[in-house]
Amino acid sequence: MSQLIAPSLLSADFANLQRDIEMINSSAADWFHIDVMDGLFVPNISFGFPVIQHIKKHASKPLDVHLMIVDPDRFIDEFKNVGADVLTVHYEACNHLHRTVQRIKSLGMGAGVSLNPHTPVSLLEDILPDTDLILIMSVNPGFGGQKFIENTYKKVSELKNMIIKTGAKTLIEVDGGVDLNNARKLIDAGADVLVAGSFVFKSTQPSKTIEELKNA
């Protein structure tokens, strides 16, 4: 299977969102990556339900929603209602992660768990079989355009080994600073889904850049 590509709309032109959504619709991209930030879990605020609802109206591919918010249990149902297909919460933001993951799945969404750069993958051992996706942050979450953290390769291959050992079907997604310098190495380490924000939207030919990541 070739890798899935999920362009992050955080780096899109919000005044021309429909144009950028249509570019992704007609590109080789697989998912829309949607970053939700609350100003508490991360030092930034992005956008919320009304914007996602409008994205959903135009998007012809699944919405991969990455919640960088504290206590995400408060909003799981509402993210389902605005059209999330995969919903990812942070390990560091959940006191009862097992319950959170079960709730996400019970609503028919794929359940993802994300790790900050300082959180070891070994902590996932008991939740892994319940997840559809693990999102490894390769920058500290909060902003697009940051520098890729090299320790990510090690985390991805450790996680891949855990997945193989347990026979889980979980996908590995990598988010932050992804570009053509690290894409191949991430896939070789075991990544299944690559998120790319600034690398796609700062490109003079975003659709071609998506294609290049898809073929990396």
Q: Is 90 in the site for Zn ion (CB under 5 A)?
A: no
Identify the bridge partners of residue 171 per DSSP, sorted by sequence position: 133
- Longest Cα separation, the chain: 46
Residue ranges in 53-92 that form contacts with ligand DX5 under rule CB under 6 A: 66
* Binding window for ligand DX5 (CB under 6 A); candidates: 52-60, 115-123, 189-197, 206-214: 189-197
Stretch that binds Zn ion, among 58-66, 96-104, 119-127, 151-159 (CB under 5 A): 58-66
Window 113 to 142, contacts with ligand DX5 (CB under 6 A): 139, 141-142
HSE, side-chain direction, 13 A CA sphere, residue 76:
22
* Known active-site residue 85: no
Q: Which of 30, 64, 175, 212 binds Zn ion (CB under 5 A)?
A: 175
Question: Interface with ligand DX5 includes 177 (CB under 6 A)?
Answer: yes
Sorted by sequence, the CB contacts under 8 Å of residue 94 that are 6+ apart come out as 71, 72, 73, 100
Scored b (16 or more CB within 10 A) or e, 103-130 reads bbeeeebbbbbbbbeebebeebeebbeb
The binding track of 15-34 with respect to ligand DX5, each residue x by CB under 6 A or -, is ------------------x-
**Can you give the binding site for Zn ion, defined by CB under 5 A?**
35, 66, 175
**Can you give the binding site for ligand DX5, defined by CB under 6 A?**
8, 10-11, 33, 35, 66, 139, 141-146, 175-178, 195-199
